[in-house]
Amino acid sequence: LSHKTYAERASIHPNLVARRFFETAEAKQSNLMVSADFTSTEALLHCADTLGPYMAVLKTHVDLIHDFGPATVEGLKTLSKKHNFMIFEDRKFVDIGNTVQKQYHGGALRISEFADIVNVSILGGEGIVEALSQVVAAPDFPYSKERAFIILADVTSKGSLATGYYTQKSVELARSHNDSFIGFIAMKSLADVESAVPEFPNEDFIIFTTGINQATKGDKLGQQYKTPTQAVQGGADFIIAGRGVYAAPDPCRSC
């Protein structure tokens, strides 16, 4: 759990992608990530353009986009430059290492082309972490030092099995691959888990917290919410809001 400012964290973080997250948050004076769960390129890009000035990060699920293609990728890249936001593809890779390498780089969703970070589940063990680290470290990878990953360390929905040993293992694997793994999706700081496994000096993992909404009621499919204040008090560095922002009567005011 860091008590430094985002500017300080940006200036000393060894990973260039992590630095850019902190720099962007500082420049935009925002730690908001908007989860743009739309089903058409037009709706996704419209959201990114409208809310772009207010957010530090855009979170995509490009496999929701029925007309996904080059225009989607180009649009995302153009808007991220125009409004200075980072892009997180919430793909939740979970397969064996060999498959995930192809899903990430060169596959139909072109994830390595547009996403600064992508998340993975470590349900299948270390292979996935090793596999993705290898892709971005390969000499012919075109976005060297511009891409990183985060681990889904727990899940917001009711009855999640991503707890206890799974969460502890998430920390251990991020530590052993910290060249390319820069943080976690987690509902709160993982400081207690971090201190339960052997110490790593000067590490600074980023905590991205999903399930953010001013209405704390959740939805009918098990989603559970926290308010932005609760999340930040619990150790969130970036807060991730979907329907709480884009489905609000005036989305810009909800930012």
**Collapsed DSSP state (helix, strand, coil) of residue 119:** strand
Q: Which stretch binds ligand UP6 (CB under 6 A): 45-53, 68-76, 140-148, 234-242?
A: 234-242
Contact between 177 and ligand UP6 per CB under 6 A: no
CA distance 136 to 146: 9
Instruction: Based on the residue annotation, tell me whether 95 is a catalytic residue of this protein.
Output: yes
Comparing CB distances to ligand UP6, the nearer of 10 and 239 is 239
Tell the smallest beta-carbon distance from residue 116 to ligand UP6 (Å).
17
Q: Determine phi and psi for 172, rounding to 5 degrees.
A: -60, -40
Residue type, 42: E
Q: Which of 91, 150, 161 is nearest to 123 (CA)?
A: 161
Catalytic residue, candidates 90, 116, 154, 237:
90
Comparing CB distances to ligand UP6, the nearer of 45 and 187 is 187
Contact between 75 and ligand UP6 per CB under 6 A: no
Contact between 170 and ligand UP6 per CB under 6 A: no
Binding mask 76-105 for ligand UP6 (x = CB under 6 A): --------------x---------------
Residue type, 166: Y
Comparing CB distances to ligand UP6, the nearer of 45 and 239 is 239
Catalytic residue, candidates 4, 81, 95, 220:
95
CA distance 176 to 195: 15
Instruction: Based on the residue annotation, tell me whether 92 is a catalytic residue of this protein.
Output: yes
- Cα-Cα-Cα-Cα dihedral of 3, 57, 209, 150, to 10°? -90
CA distance 211 to 218: 8
CA distance 36 to 195: 34
Residue type, 152: L
- DSSP secondary structure, 223-249, as one string: ---B-HHHHHHTT-SEEEESHHHHTSS
Q: Which stretch binds ligand UP6 (CB under 6 A): 38-46, 95-103, 173-181, 239-247?
A: 239-247
Comparing CB distances to ligand UP6, the nearer of 15 and 210 is 210
- Cα-Cα-Cα-Cα dihedral of 48, 51, 54, 59, to 10°? -40
- DSSP secondary structure, 40-72, as one string: SHHHHHHHHHHHTTT-SEEEE-GGG-TT-SHHH
Contact between 37 and ligand UP6 per CB under 6 A: yes
Contact between 32 and ligand UP6 per CB under 6 A: no
Q: Which of 210, 226, 231, 238 binds ligand UP6 (CB under 6 A)?
A: 210
CA distance 132 to 157: 26
Q: Which residues are bridge partners to 34 per DSSP? A: 58, 241
Comparing CB distances to ligand UP6, the nearer of 1 and 248 is 248
Contact between 240 and ligand UP6 per CB under 6 A: yes
Contact between 183 and ligand UP6 per CB under 6 A: no
Contact between 188 and ligand UP6 per CB under 6 A: no
The contact set with ligand UP6 (CB under 6 A) reads 35, 37, 61, 90, 155-156, 185, 210-211, 213, 223, 240-244
By annotation, the residues acting in catalysis are 90, 92, 95
